[in-house]
Amino acid sequence: MPKKTKKTAPPSDARERILTIAGRMLQQVGPDGLRLQEIAREVGVSHPAILHHFGSREGLVHAVVERAGTALEADIVTSFAAGEAEKDPAALVERVFRTFYGNGHARLIAWLSLSGVSQDHATSKLGEIAQIVHAIRKRKHEEAGLRCPPFEDSANVVMLSCFAMLGDAICGQAVRAATNPAKKDPTGERFRRWLAERLVERLETSLP
Amino acid sequence: MPKKTKKTAPPSDARERILTIAGRMLQQVGPDGLRLQEIAREVGVSHPAILHHFGSREGLVHAVVERAGTALEADIVTSFAAGEAEKDPAALVERVFRTFYGNGHARLIAWLSLSGVSQDHATSKLGEIAQIVHAIRKRKHEEAGLRCPPFEDSANVVMLSCFAMLGDAICGQAVRAATNPAKKDPTGERFRRWLAERLVERLETSLP
DNA sequence: AGGGCGACTTACAACATTGTCAACGGCCGA
DNA sequence: TCGGCCGTTGACAATGTTGTAAGTCGCCCT
């Protein structure tokens, strides 16, 4: 006898595929643009199958957001845990940007922010990151016998990084094309390298 | 005889009111969230009246975006034309941010960017602004007998300002609350003042 | 073997939304 | 005064969307 022809291969493989494809669509068209039938068509199931797994459209959105959130947390943590935060800050900025932009997290966060959906996961690590950045900064200053700026300054650096990455991810291409048409920097890598230099510069500044 | 009871007061006052209210809604719920019936209810007309004036839903969106775009251009120009660009940069940053954020332009631009609608108006002035900023910078450097960094550096400053304002407008509150919960800066004014200082600092830097 | 269960489908209900149509009433120019 | 135009309306058509109901199929456990 042949193995299972095609049905129910894993217990529920479809659930995962739905989540994956819905996630891709969500960051493309936003929460209001999601269409169950479209997802179903793409996945290769009927749309009630989605409702079967997630209860409702909103349940699906919630599940996708939840999943993306934990994925983002994990990505960010590994980005920082690579331990290069102190060695090559430009590479760190570029790497964080990539996990942020390349995986569509930035677009998703923007969609959610605009739609008024809470985005706890996305911001949950920010406080921690600011603490870490400031701790490293303070240690380095102490080693050099300099006076370190207050925590607020470090927090501002982190916030600025956030905003810059989000803005870049949302409309970086258009802004770059309009601001500096001559320079060939379609991906914005030059800009981010420049930004990383400025951030490091700031973190190395000390009080008089 | 009484004046016109209530009908057709100006030739078509309704058109303006529709544009105004649709604009407010557009920046609230985004292009996909606009509902003709809701607008009509708010304005106090029936929804075919909207279709009569703008042809279609898309026509309405287009008209609103067009209008907001020219308004933004005007706002930005006056912000810069106030002539304080050289005197009090922090005030300039704050003022630009206010016309950008307070009038909902930032949210609208974000919606449009995410939705894939072209946003020519929003970016059209950026090149010009970068040129102006660089020109002033260069003049000041020459007066002081210093070497001015290349245009790309000034353009990067402008881009960073854009991104920061956009990011701030979209999710500034959440990011601030997460990054630096202790500091009471709900409106982000302290952050923007800090940013303005950094921007000026950068613009005053010269090549070795 | 057979009952229960989970995954899934088809068909359908309920509803919202955009857009069309015919009609109406005031205003203006001929 | 009359005819036409403009802004507007109510009713309706067409379509798409979420959600429900009932039934099918295969698997697992007893």
- Give contacts of A33 with chain B, Cβ < 8 Å: 32
C-alpha torsion angle, residues B145, B147, B153, B157 (rounded to 10): -20
Higher pLDDT, A169 or B6: A169
Mean pLDDT for A165-194 is: 92
pLDDT reported for residue A83: 63
Mutate to test the interface with B, among A133, A171, A193 (most CBs of B within 10 A): A171
Cβ neighbourhood burial of A162 (10 Å; 0-12, 13-18, 19+): buried
Phi and psi at A147, nearest 5°, equal -90, 125
Which residues on B lie below 8 Å from A179 (Cβ)?
123, 126-127, 129-130, 155, 158-159, 162
- From first to last of the 208 residues of chain B, give the pLDDT tens digit: 333 333 334 557 899 999 999 999 999 999 999 999 999 999 999 999 999 999 999 999 999 999 999 998 888 888 877 666 567 777 888 888 888 888 899 999 999 999 998 888 888 889 999 998 999 999 999 999 999 999 999 999 999 999 999 999 899 999 999 999 998 898 999 999 999 999 999 999 999 8
Say yes or no for a CB contact (<8 Å) between B126 and A195: no
Q: How far is B29 from chain A (nearest CA, A)?
A: 7
Inter-residue long-range contacts of A140-143, CB under 8 Å, 24+ positions, other chains counted? A140/A204, A141/A206
How many other CB atoms are found less than 10 A from the CB of residue B117? Answer: 15
Torsion angle in degrees (nearest 10) through CA of B26, B29, B34, B38: -100
Write the residue in B160, B165, B172 that is nearest to A195 by C-beta.
B160
**Cα torsion at B160, B162, B166, B167 (round to 10°)?**
0
The 3-state secondary structure of A176-197 reads HHHHCCCCCCCCCHHHHHHHHH
On the question of pLDDT at A56 being above 60, the answer is yes
Considering the entire predicted model, what is its pTM? 0.89
Pure H helices in chain B: 13-29, 36-43, 47-54, 57-81, 89-101, 105-115, 120-124, 126-144, 151-179, 189-204
More confident residue, A42 or A7: A42
Chain B nearest-CA distance from A45, in A, is 26
Tell me which of A8-12, A20-24, A97-101, B194-198 is least confident: A8-12
Q: What is the pLDDT of residue A85?
A: 57
Asked whether residue A57's C-beta has any atom of DNA/RNA strand C within 7 A, the reply is: no
B 100-129 residues inside an 8 A Cβ radius of A = 107, 109-111, 113-115, 119, 122-124, 126-127, 129
Q: What is the mean pLDDT of chain A?
A: 89
Helices assigned H by DSSP within A82-185: 89-97, 105-115, 120-124, 126-144, 151-179
Residues of chain B positioned with their CB less than 8 A from the CB of A168 = 163
Using a pLDDT cut of 70, give the percent of chain A over it: 92
**pLDDT value of residue A11:** 58
Taking contacts as CB-CB distances below 8 angstroms, the residues of chain B near A114 are 30, 107, 110-111, 114, 170
Which residues from chain A sit within 8 angstroms of residue B38, using beta carbons? Answer: none
Quick one: average pLDDT of A48-64? 97
Residue A7 has pLDDT above 50, yes or no: no
A150 touches chain B (CB under 8 A): no
Interface test with A, best of B100, B111, B159 (most A CBs within 10 A): B159
Nearest to B179 among A115, A130, A177 (CB): A130
Backbone angles phi, psi at B207, to 5 degrees: -70, 150
Q: Which of residues 44-73 of B touch strand C (CB under 7 A)?
A: 47-48, 51, 56-58
Partner-chain residue, chosen from B160, B177, B178, that has the shortest CB–CB distance to A164 = B160
Q: What is the spatial distance between Cα A55 and Cα A35, in angstroms, rounded to a whole number?
A: 15
Rounded Cα–Cα distance for residues A92 and B8 (Å)? 63
Distance (Å) from the C-alpha of residue A2 to the closest C-alpha of chain B? 48
Cβ atoms of residues A12 and A53 within 8 Å: yes
A175 reaches B (C-beta below 8 A): yes
